[in-house]
Amino acid sequence: MTTNSDEQRQPLDLAAARQQLREKKGKDYWRSLNELANSPEFEKVIEQEYPRQASLLGTLNRRDFLKVLGASLALAGLTACVPQGSDKILPYVKPPEVLLPGKPVLFASTVLQDGYGQGVLITTTMGRPIKVDGNPKHPATLGGSDVFMQALPLELYDPERLKQVMNQKTAKTWGDFTNALGSLSGNWGQGAGLRILSGMTTSPSLIDQMGALLKKYPQAKWVQFSPVARNNSLAGANLVFGQPYEPVYDFSKADVILSLDCDFLFAEPGHVRYGRDFGVRRQPISANGTMNRLYMIEGSSTMTGSNADHRLAVKPSQIEGFARAIAARLGLAVTAPTGDVAGQPWLDALTADLKSAGKGALVLAGERQPAAVHALAYAINQALGAVGNTVNFIAPVAQGYAGDGYTALKTLAQEMSSGAVDTLVILDSNPAYTAPADLDFVKAMGKVKNVITLANAMDETAVLSSWAIPAAHSMESWGDARAFDGTISIIQPTIEPLYGGKSALELIAALLGQPVARGYDLLRTYWQGQLKGGDFALTWRDLLGKGVIADTASAPIASLPTATLNGMGALPAAASGMEIVFEPDYTVWDGRFTNNAWLQELPKPLSKLTWDNAAYLSPATATKLAITDGDMLILHVGERNMQAAASIQPGQPDDVVVLSLGYGRKEGGSVLANSGFNANLIRTSAAPWFQSGLQVTKGREKYTLATTHEHWTMENRDLVRSTDLEDYKAHPNFAHDGEEQAITLYGQEERTGYAWGMSINLNSCIGCNACVIACQSENNIPTVGKDQVIRGREMHWIRIDRYYKGSANRPRFVYQPVPCMHCEKAPCEVVCPVEATSHSAEGINEMTYNRCVGTRYCANNCPYKVRRFNFYKYVDENVASMRALRNPDVTARSRGVMEKCTYCVQRVNEARIQAEAEGRPIADGEVQTACQVACPTQAIVFGNINDANSTVRKLKDLPLNYGLLADLGTQPRTTYVAQVKNPNPMIKEEA
Residues near other proteins (CB under 8 A) are 81, 83-84, 86-95, 100-103, 753, 838, 840-842, 844, 846, 848-851, 889-892, 902, 905-906, 909, 913, 916-917, 919
Q: How far is the CB of 842 from other proteins (least distance, A)?
A: 7
Q: How far is the CB of 970 from other proteins (least distance, A)?
A: 20
Q: How far is the CB of 84 from other proteins (least distance, A)?
A: 6
DSSP code per residue over 829-855: HHH-TT--EEE-TTS-EEE-GGG----
Distance CA 284, CA 728 (A): 9
Considering beta carbons, is residue 273 or 886 the nearer one to other proteins? 886
List beta partners, residue 394.
246
Distance CA 340, CA 174 (A): 64
Distance CA 687, CA 893 (A): 48
Q: Quick check: helix, strand or coil at residue 579?
A: strand
Considering beta carbons, is residue 127 or 388 the nearer one to other proteins? 127
Q: Under a CB-based contact definition with an 8 Å cutoff, are residues 679 and 584 in contact?
A: no
Tell me whether strands 812-818 and 799-805 are parallel, antiparallel or unpaired: antiparallel
For residue 173, what are the CA distances in angstroms to 168, 170, 423?
13, 10, 20
Distance CA 831, CA 714 (A): 20
Kindly calculate the radius of gyration of the chain based on its CA atoms and give it in whole angstroms. Answer: 28
Q: How far is the CB of 893 from other proteins (least distance, A)?
A: 9
Q: How far is the CB of 973 from other proteins (least distance, A)?
A: 14
Distance CA 480, CA 491 (A): 5
Question: 43-60 as b/e, with b when 16 or more CB fall inside 10 Å?
Answer: eebbeebbbbeeeeeeee
Q: Under a CB-based contact definition with an 8 Å cutoff, are residues 699 and 643 in contact?
A: yes
Distance CA 18, CA 620 (A): 11
| CA angle, residues 13, 18, 22, in degrees to nearest 5 | 145
Considering beta carbons, is residue 61 or 752 the nearer one to other proteins? 752
Please give the DSSP secondary-structure letter assigned to residue 195: E
Q: How far is the CB of 164 from other proteins (least distance, A)?
A: 24
Q: How far is the CB of 882 from other proteins (least distance, A)?
A: 15
Q: How far is the CB of 127 from other proteins (least distance, A)?
A: 13
Q: How far is the CB of 924 from other proteins (least distance, A)?
A: 20
Q: Under a CB-based contact definition with an 8 Å cutoff, are residues 796 and 818 in contact?
A: no
Considering beta carbons, is residue 81 or 626 the nearer one to other proteins? 81
Distance CA 387, CA 562 (A): 11
Contacts of 445 (CB under 8 A, 6+ apart): 416, 424, 431, 432, 451, 461, 464, 465
DSSP code per residue over 592-658: TTTT-HHHHTSPPTTT-EES---EEE-HHHHHHHT--TTEEEEEEETTEEEEEEEEE-TTPPTTEEE
Q: How far is the CB of 154 from other proteins (least distance, A)?
A: 21
For residue 656, what are the CA distances in angstroms to 615, 639, 701, 972?
9, 19, 21, 43
Considering beta carbons, is residue 581 or 884 the nearer one to other proteins? 884
CB-hemisphere CA count at 13 Å for 54? 12
Considering beta carbons, is residue 78 or 743 the nearer one to other proteins? 78
Q: Is 767 left (phi over 0), alpha (psi -120 to 50) or beta?
A: left
Considering beta carbons, is residue 79 or 288 the nearer one to other proteins? 79
Q: How far is the CB of 69 from other proteins (least distance, A)?
A: 18
List beta partners, residue 723.
980
List beta partners, residue 246.
394
CA-CA-CA-CA torsion sign (412, 418, 424, 426): positive
Q: How far apart are the first and last CA of the chain?
A: 40
Distance CA 205, CA 227 (A): 24
Considering beta carbons, is residue 179 or 909 the nearer one to other proteins? 909
Considering beta carbons, is residue 350 or 884 the nearer one to other proteins? 884
Considering beta carbons, is residue 89 or 558 the nearer one to other proteins? 89
Considering beta carbons, is residue 546 or 883 the nearer one to other proteins? 883
Q: How far is the CB of 89 from other proteins (least distance, A)?
A: 5
Considering beta carbons, is residue 83 or 738 the nearer one to other proteins? 83
Element (H, E) at 943: strand 940-944
Considering beta carbons, is residue 440 or 910 the nearer one to other proteins? 910
Considering beta carbons, is residue 3 or 909 the nearer one to other proteins? 909
Q: Under a CB-based contact definition with an 8 Å cutoff, are residues 253 and 390 in contact?
A: yes
Q: Under a CB-based contact definition with an 8 Å cutoff, are residues 325 and 285 in contact?
A: no
Please give the DSSP secondary-structure letter assigned to residue 382: H
Q: How far is the CB of 914 from other proteins (least distance, A)?
A: 8
Q: How far is the CB of 946 from other proteins (least distance, A)?
A: 14
Q: How far is the CB of 834 from other proteins (least distance, A)?
A: 12
Considering beta carbons, is residue 235 or 844 the nearer one to other proteins? 844
Q: How far is the CB of 128 from other proteins (least distance, A)?
A: 15
Considering beta carbons, is residue 514 or 838 the nearer one to other proteins? 838
Considering beta carbons, is residue 75 or 570 the nearer one to other proteins? 75
Considering beta carbons, is residue 104 or 693 the nearer one to other proteins? 104
Tell me whether strands 609-610 and 423-427 are parallel, antiparallel or unpaired: unpaired
CA dihedral angle for residue 723, residue 729, residue 730, residue 736, rounded to 10 degrees: 50
Distance CA 340, CA 349 (A): 15
Q: How far is the CB of 509 from other proteins (least distance, A)?
A: 28
Q: How far is the CB of 658 from other proteins (least distance, A)?
A: 42
